[in-house]
A and B are shown apart, each in its own frame.
Chain A
Amino acid sequence: MNTQPPTHAAFAAKAAQKTPPRTAEIPTQLQRDEARTIFERSVEGRRAAVVPECDVPETPLADLIPPNLLREKAAELPEVSEPEIVRHYNRISRRNFDLDTGPYPLGSCTMKHNPRLNEKVAALPGHARLHPAQDPKRAQGALELMWNLERALSEITGLPHVSLQPSAGSHGELAGLLLTRAYHEDRGQERTKVLTPDTAHGTNPATVTMAGYEVVKVATAPDGGVDVDDLREKADDQVACLMLTNPNTLGIFDRNIREMAKIVHDIGGTLYYDGANLNAVMGWSRPGDMGFDIVHLNLHKSFSQPHGGGGPGAGPIAVSDRIAPFLPVPRILRHESSNGAGPSFDFEHSAEKSIGRMRGFQGNFGVFVRSYAYIRSLGGDGLREASEIAVLNANYLLARLSTGRAGKHLPLAFGERCMHEFVLTGDPAKRELKVKTLDIAKRLLDYGFHPPTIYFPLLVDEALMFEPTETETRESLDELAEAIDSILAEAEEDPEILTNAPFTTPVRRLDEAAASRRPVVRQPL
């Protein structure tokens, strides 16, 4: 029986050194305790905060606000002391796997290193403590930073105009389709359809519906790119836009991009670039040069903002000249001074054809600071090198997984090489070894790796999508390849080792169906 501590110590186990346990330990009292919520630690009368003394007249509240508008019963927030709070959250934090303790090759998510310099500059009081409604005259440094970031993203995307406003990739997508709608309406056209390939991220079709359009799927050709004939057939005068990711979610650069752009432009549509995979091409190829009109970038993917367990991010958009009049407000203006005092910056709050606001204030400025620091750290050649090594690492891992057991049971779904990510199919493993992609993923947890993205893209059976990023070392890629080989050897020996995995994680496989059938989404108090 394994006696290691019940926290995630096993995450640190190096696959190359030893095979992780194949049986689970018995739940201990400590484990039950670790899943207690902060509400279950509440004891009446305990407290952490001391609220400042009242230094103005202590008028009864009912004399200031009509009693019928006042709360009668206090919200049941926990009553706990500060040491308990700190211990509770440190304990539960140890039940997370994170990028700083292990490889995280989650495809289409670009889990690259999060530089701590960026956290340090974001925390400077001039940034973190700057009120969003501050008079722009007294926030010139912030506006200058945003302007500089806009210019850098413009150069990286090859599109002249940028709005930093959208809060995440999906928000940028919605902005992009509302821009498309405004563009067509301005030309007196009501179009109804948006084309997306069947390899698209789920946010694409969901956004299409939110923007009031109908989704039309375009098929994938045998080479993994868009089926150009199918595109040509579906491109009619009701098509407002084609949304694409390039390289696509198979990690393949669509070689026909110029031809596709021409097809869509010829019918008067716009071309939208989902920037989730920009990390493959920074400094090598630009969406603007490919023919795209609108691009969103994920600053939390390509530009090193930490993912925070599901946000925050930012999804700036870059657009071509013909889309620019419709960009969201506020926009940043740069004024040259006539007396040599250097430029000044201001916000433009309205523009005749603008779609308006996508959110409050100016956007996720704290994310802008981090990504700007990242871009200034790397420079143009550094960004290019980041993409180069991202592609090198992905192809190296692919090469390592193309031989031996992985090559036999988990072949590449499309093509021969890849850009920054690649998709394997676990279909042979399922047939030959009786293990599903899910089982392989769960066993990888025992080996100390976060699994790749699984079951996406949808057109690949039993898909495993690997994106190692440029910040992984060659050794960690070797270890990942060896872990997968070892897992497949286990499957050959006894598939149950995989189908029952994981064994070493804070909890084992969870009943997700029950959580949706009878949802318990808050603590009963």
Chain B
Amino acid sequence: MSRYTSATDADREAMLAEIGVSSSEELFEQIPAEVRLGRELELPDGMSEQDVFEHLRSLAAKNADADSEVCFLGAGMYDHYVPAIVDAILSRSEFLTPYTPYQPEVSQGGLQAMFEFQTCMSELTALPISNASMYEGPSSVASAAYLALGAGKGRKKLVVSRGLHPHSRATLATYAEGFGATITEIGLENGLTDAGELAGALDDQTAAVFVQNPNFLGGIEDLDALASAAHDAGAMAIASVDPMTLGVLRPPGECGIDVAVGEGQPLGGRLDFGGPSFGFFCATEEHIRRMPGRIAGETTDVDGRRGFVLALQTREQHIRREKATHNICTSQALIALGGVLHLVWLGKRGLVELGELMVRRTAYARETLAAIDGVALLHDAPVAREFGITLDAPVQEVIDACAADGIAAGYPLGRDLPEHENGLLVAITERRTKADIDRLASSLERAVAGASSSRETAEVAS
């Protein structure tokens, strides 16, 4: 079905005449007959706008979204309140529809937004250099490895805490095949990276140590100690951090971390079933010419007016080709602007207040859930916004029972971590009130008791 085009029969006729051919098929004769598709694509017929809308609406209706249930799911992406200005600004054509700012004279809005993004992320992480965004979190972790291996003078070993998100560890392992690097994993001890095991794993072949803060089980790591252990071995310290906790948690740059990366979704991002979000990539000054991706920089024009451009482009694939610091081209400019808007809206004090609220509600939720019969804490390390519990009942049954109460109880840890088959990861945001937490507690209590008793009945019967 013709759509979004304007050529009438008269247009076509005039245009073909100008070109000097008799039909548009003739233009496609550039394609040899043996690779021309001699039939129509076997796809459903095109539809009217309203029919497409109804079709997509009916698909969307089959999903249980965070508006239709109380969502305690996290594991890297969180149900934060996104201020109304984010959608309003991001839907402006001027931000929505341009390409990458290759012509800076007519791209000052986008370039300035990138510059402001870089300043925000640099402030949050306390690291001086930020790029203008990466695809998303886990691939940013893998990209940090590429930087570390490039800086590491032949060192090929990556030491990775098991507290790093399973998706980040898996992505890093995929990329490492191309990098020719090996990965050594360090376990957790009571919810935190095992310092003793880490010390034993570090050697003169180690390019970098990877940790996450808070880690995947919610524990707040001692980044200072982990960074100095890495540095003592001559390795870089790389941390994946949750930007929404950086109002209250010590920023990686103050802890000696060399590169901080992370998933940007908590900042102004939709849940979107996992994307598009944005990743961020911040580093110490010495790595500025090894950074991946776009970086906006301030300069002046021929009249002395302030302006912004893409800086340090000689790092990038379109100039440096096979010697580029990374292959990334299109990243996440629009979504990163959403992050800036959310941060600016929260402001200097709002980010701190929101962090404090999350920490307090998380403490309340942890205490409340731990008091339930059949529920225990997975670890007692300090937490900020998410924590693990173990259930004395099959996790999937409990999740299903809570779902029947309109609650998404949390993330089943057994999906990625076989050692926590009975584990559930519970996330708290400013949207989860005390009343929501109490509701989760009573639903969980019923679910665990119900699942346990049905299991006992089954055992007796057998």
Contact = CB atoms under 8 A, between A and B. Distances in A.
Interface in B339-355: 340-341, 343-354
B4 A306 contact: no
Contacts of A519: 288, 295, 297, 311-312
Interface in A126-167: 126-135, 138-142, 144-145, 152, 155-156, 158, 167
B180 interface: yes
B324 A202 contact: yes
Contacts of B2: 382, 385
Contact of B177 (A155, A182, A202, A362): A182
B131 to A, nearest CB: 9
Contact of A124 (B56, B66, B348): B56
Contact of B31 (A134, A284, A507, A512): A284
A405 interface: no
A390 to B, nearest CB: 9
Interface string B399-416: 100010000100100010
A24 B303 CA distance: 9
A92 to B, nearest CB: 4
Contact of B18 (A64, A70, A367, A400): A400
B27 A391 contact: yes
A82 B83 CA distance: 10
A234 interface: no
A438 to B, nearest CB: 10
User: 8 tightest A-B contacts by CB?
Assistant: A126-B60, A308-B334, A361-B274, A379-B46, A141-B62, A132-B274, A380-B41, A312-B276
B251 A71 contact: yes
A283 B425 CA distance: 47
Contacts of A215: 321-322
Most buried by A among B129, B137, B351: B351
Contact of B27 (A66, A395, A508, A525): A395
Contact of A512 (B119, B309, B354): B309
Contacts of B105: 442, 445, 502, 505-510
A99 interface: yes
Contact of B133 (A134, A311, A525): A311
A409 interface: no
A156 B41 contact: yes
Nearest to A308: B334
Interface stretch (B74-82, B198-206, B229-237): B74-82
Interface string B412-446: 00010000000000000010011101000000000
Contacts of A119: 91, 96
A377 B46 contact: yes
B270 interface: yes
23 contacts: A65-B248, A97-B98, A99-B93, A125-B67, A134-B65, A134-B408, A141-B61, A182-B177, A202-B324, A206-B327, A208-B322, A309-B100, A312-B335, A357-B167, A366-B276, A379-B46, A392-B19, A395-B15, A417-B30, A473-B6, A507-B104, A521-B295, A522-B115
B348 A130 contact: no
B interface bracket (residues with beta carbon within 8 Å of A):
35 or more
Contacts of B95: 93, 96, 98, 308-309
B154 interface: no
A313 B53 contact: no
A217 to B, nearest CB: 9
A185 to B, nearest CB: 9
A72 B250 CA distance: 7
A77 B343 contact: yes
Contact of B345 (A49, A417, A508): A49
A312 B274 CA distance: 13
A10 B58 CA distance: 44
B123 interface: yes
A290 B35 CA distance: 6
B330 A311 contact: yes
Contacts of B20: 399
A429 B39 CA distance: 44
B371 interface: no
Contacts of A386: 3-5
Contact of B327 (A203, A356, A366, A500): A203
B106 A32 contact: no
A96 B27 contact: no
A523 B113 CA distance: 12
B297 A155 contact: no
Contact of B118 (A69, A140, A173, A522): A522
Given A134-B64, A309-B100, A521-B311, A141 B59 contact: yes
A298 B99 CA distance: 13
Contacts of A505: 105-106
A57 B167 CA distance: 35
Given A71-B251, A470-B5, 20 more contacts: A49-B345, A55-B435, A59-B363, A77-B348, A93-B92, A125-B60, A128-B272, A131-B79, A135-B408, A167-B135, A170-B327, A177-B178, A285-B35, A307-B100, A307-B330, A313-B276, A376-B55, A474-B15, A507-B305, A508-B301
A174 B309 CA distance: 28
B49 A377 contact: yes
A267 interface: no
A274 to B, nearest CB: 12
Interface stretch (A13-21, A101-109, A485-493): A101-109
Nearest to A509: B302
Nearest to B165: A360
Contact of A206 (B42, B324, B341): B324
A90 interface: yes
A38 interface: yes
B368 to A, nearest CB: 9
Contacts of B352: 71, 74
A252 to B, nearest CB: 7
Contact of B341 (A85, A94, A307, A441): A85
A442 B117 CA distance: 27
B110 interface: yes
Contacts of A101: 93-94
Contacts of A51: 346, 350, 353-354, 357, 430
B327 A309 contact: no
B119 A366 contact: no
Interface in A285-333: 285-286, 289-290, 298, 300, 304, 306-314, 328
B220 A206 contact: no
Contacts of A158: 37
B119 A39 contact: yes
Interface stretch (B168-176, B372-380, B453-461): B168-176
B359 interface: yes
A387 B138 CA distance: 35
Contacts of B350: 47-49, 51, 77
A510 B347 contact: no
Contacts of A395: 15, 19, 21, 27
B98 A210 contact: no
Contact of A98 (B11, B67, B93, B178): B93
Q: Could you say which of B43, B77, B246, B330 has the most chain A C-beta atoms within 10 Å of its C-beta?
A: B330
B153 to A, nearest CB: 17
Interface in A458-474: 470-474
Most chain B Cβ neighbours within 10 Å, of A121, A129, A522: A522
A173 to B, nearest CB: 7
Interface in B272-303: 272-276, 278, 288, 294-303
A64 to B, nearest CB: 5
Nearest to B363: A64
Contacts of B71: 131
A516 B35 contact: no
